[in-house]
Amino acid sequence: MKMDHLRGLFEQLDVRDVSTFIASGNVLFSTDSDDREALRTAIEDHLDSELGYGVGTFLRTPAELAEIAALDARGASDEWGPESAHYVVFLQAGAPAELREGLVALGSEIDDFDVTEREVQWRTRGKVSESPLFGQAIERVFRGTPNTMRNMNTVKRLVAKTTA
């Protein structure tokens, strides 16, 4: 989907200062709503109605994004090496026990996971596409848990954009 179309869909909602960031569905906006669940549901319902299919929505405040960006997935860059990849998997709700257990079981010298309440930080040596977990193995663990994944560099760029 073109980001200008997505931005237009959000502009139809009760939000303001709408902008998109890179072509991966990141939408920045301001709202007076304190009810995160109602806002998430309203966005998902609107997108479903306008697009004809469901779109999972994962809301974070600028402060929450800054906190996520400040975290390191168990080890600084010098421990993992400059070629390591660091991703954040955003969840809609708290990480279920089965997900936590599944990620612990997948941990290795190549892949490491750090689970917080609504995020999973995944660091892998080398490119994520070269990880033995990339694809079906990781998808099996997350099955049934709505999620979306972003590179940590993207998260940091989002933080910079929201604090500019």
Convert the pLDDT of each residue in 69-93 to its tens digit.
988 654 555 567 777 899 999 999 9
Q: Look-up: residue for tokens 């469901």?
A: 54
Question: What is the per-residue pLDDT for 160?
Answer: 92
Q: What is the pTM of this model?
A: 0.90
Q: Is 131 helix (H, G, I), strand (E, B) or coil?
A: coil
Neighbours of 94 (CB within 10 A): 12
Interstrand relation of 147-151 and 85-91 (parallel, antiparallel or unpaired): antiparallel
pLDDT beneath 50: ranges in the chain: 74
Alpha-carbon gap, residue 147 to 58, rounded angstroms: 8
Question: What is the per-residue pLDDT for 78?
Answer: 58
* Chain centre to alpha carbon of residue 154: 10
C-alpha dihedral, 17 to 19 to 21 to 24, nearest 10°: 120
Question: What is the per-residue pLDDT for 72?
Answer: 62
Closest C-alpha among 25, 22, 32 to residue 13: 32
